[in-house]
Amino acid sequence: MSSIQINNETFNYELNGPENTPVLFFSNSLGTTHSMWAKQVDYFSKNYRVLSYDTRGHGESVKNKGPYTLEQLGNDVLQITQALGIEKFSFCGISMGGLIGQWLGIHAPEKLDKLVVCNTAAKIGQEAGWNDRAALVRSEGMNPVADGSAGRWFTEGFVQANPASVNALINGLRQTDAEGYASCCDALAKADLREKIALIKTPTLIVAGSHDPVTTVADADAMAEKIAGSKRVDLDASHLSNIEASEAFNRALEDFLKR
Ligand SMILES: O=C(O)CC1=CCC(=O)O1
């Protein structure tokens, strides 16, 4: 891992793969870190310069007191790439990372080759729900949220068959900084791109999990209706489809990037 200072704030990132190949930037979901992309880093770093990072409030990146905003999280991506001398990149974000991707598609299309938004929506959940979750972790810490997360992130079958990898992710969630997590919930509470995503003109792939209870197939359909020319893929997975259906995920992403 490496870290970079931007305006006196630290961002933790990892760059893998040959120099002078196209940059593929991965953005994690709420309560995870760059390491959620391990299967994608392995696969794509043969042919791409793969960049993954810990979103503000997560992992080893800055955990300043929030609330954060989606604009701030989007600008973090622009500043990290600028600081690393990357002019253009393809961006793949999941859930909260997918919202960051939509924000980039609207506000910084000149930076994007291709956009991949996974298990996400133009508005995720309801403002009151995010405010309640932020208040809960600020008062009681991460355990109450972590206790219910396996069922939001994975199908029951995957949880039963993969206890070690599921437990590692849930333990990571328990160790997530509560204020950083809550500040990202604040950003999610206010983020609503439903009226703006029709502005996205970057070639876009929308990935959904057919068993995802958080960001549903209907959410993906609603994005696909508004983003002209977007491609849609449904995977046999729940919310963290890049982990639960990693091979199908990698194939879909590779096919789309090669087009
Ligand atoms: O609630 C969860 O843990 C799932 C989720 C919603 C937004 C995100 O990034 O993850």
- State in Å: Cα 85 to ligand 1 middle: 31
Edge to edge, the sheet with strand 89-94 lists: 2-6, 9-16, 49-53, 23-27, 89-94, 112-118, 204-209, 231-235
Q: Report whether residue 137 contacts ligand 1, using a CB cutoff of 6 Å.
A: no
Centre a 10 Å sphere on the Cβ of residue 177 and count the other Cβ atoms it contains. 15
Our mutation pick for probing the ligand 1 site, out of 26, 27, 28, 29, counting the most ligand atoms within 8 A of Cβ, is 29
SS3 state at 138: helix
**Mean pLDDT, consecutive 10-residue segments, the chain of 259 residues?**
97 98 98 98 98 98 98 98 98 99 99 99 98 98 97 98 98 98 98 98 98 98 98 98 98 97
Q: Report whether residue 96 contacts ligand 1, using a CB cutoff of 6 Å.
A: yes
* Closest ligand 1 atom to Cα of 98: 9
ipTM for the whole predicted complex goes beyond 0.85: yes
Q: What is the count of structural domains for the chain? A: 1
pLDDT of residue 250: 99
For the domain that residue 185 is a member of, what is the CATH number?
Answer: 3.40.50.1820
pLDDT of residue 249: 99
C-alpha to C-alpha distance for 31 and 170, rounded to whole angstroms = 9
Q: Report whether residue 31 contacts ligand 1, using a CB cutoff of 6 Å.
A: yes
Q: Report whether residue 189 contacts ligand 1, using a CB cutoff of 6 Å.
A: no
Q: Report whether residue 124 contacts ligand 1, using a CB cutoff of 6 Å.
A: yes
Query: SS3 string of 40-85?
Result: HHHHHCCCCEEEEECCCCCCCCCCCCCCCCHHHHHHHHHHHHHHCC
DSSP of 94-137: ETHHHHHHHHHHHH-GGGEEEEEEES--SS-S-HHHHHHHHHHH
C-alpha to C-alpha distance for 133 and 244, rounded to whole angstroms = 25
24-46 per-position pLDDT tens digit? 999 999 999 999 999 999 999 99
Q: Within 13 Å, how many C-alpha atoms sit on residue 86's CB side?
A: 24
Does the global pTM surpass 0.90?
yes
pLDDT of residue 86: 98
- State in Å: Cα 130 to ligand 1 middle: 10
C-alpha to C-alpha distance for 90 and 45, rounded to whole angstroms = 14
Cis peptide, bond prior to residue 67, ω within 30 of zero? yes
Domain that holds residue 229: 2-258
Closest Cα to atom 10, ligand 1: which residue?
30
pLDDT of residue 68: 98
Q: Report whether residue 191 contacts ligand 1, using a CB cutoff of 6 Å.
A: no
Measured CA distances, 97 to 13, 118, 144, 180 (Å): 15, 8, 23, 15
Q: Report whether residue 36 contacts ligand 1, using a CB cutoff of 6 Å.
A: no
Size (the chain), residues: 259
